[in-house]
Amino acid sequence: MEQILESVAQAKSPVSGESWPALDKEYRKKKIADGFSGRPNLETSGDMLDSLTFKNTEDGIEIGIFGSEAWKADGHLKFSGAENNTPQRRFIPAEGQNFKSDIEREVERIISDYKAENVDAKRLQDIDTSADLYRYLKEVLGDRSVNELRLAVMRTPDLLEAIEDAGLLELL
């Protein structure tokens, strides 16, 4: 949600492959005259972005605008297929779309850091080679690149310490 809000404030779509058109000339003039920014940042009253939230689901989480502001959001997102006169400015990906790669990468890192905090240090005692270490890290942190696995270790002081205690630091 934080990344969405930061992107939107810069008038940039957080959705991969999407970019936003500039505001219509007349609307831009009116927006500025009313004291708002002339950039397409989806903000006038701010009520719609204030309503951005998330829900826990069985599979994970769902990010969206679910209440009385949902119709405004749909006007920009065009998920329902209902026509209106505003151009599409997606700030949440539709089915089949993704967030931009930097946002996706951060989400993956959050998940692997969570896993890194729960590594069983005892298993490290059986490791002798760099290949074994990365195989084990892949097993517990997920199928990530060697660089991402190494970074996950370095972002996690407890795991780094466990690796040092097991005498495996030079294998990283």
Smallest distance, Å, CB 81 to another protein? 29
Q: Which is nearer to another protein, 47 or 128 (CB)?
A: 47
Q: Which is nearer to another protein, 2 or 83 (CB)?
A: 2
Q: Which is nearer to another protein, 3 or 16 (CB)?
A: 3
Give 53's DSSP letter: E
Smallest distance, Å, CB 132 to another protein? 19
By CB under 8 A, name the binding residues for another protein.
2-3, 5-6, 8-10, 32, 34-37, 41, 43-46, 49-50, 106, 109-110, 113, 150-151, 154-157, 160-161, 164-165, 169, 172
8, with CB counted inside 10 A (0-12, 13-18, 19+), is buried
* Measured CA angle at 109 (ends 108, 112), to 5 deg: 90
Give 96's DSSP letter: T
* Structural Rg of the chain based on CA atoms: 22
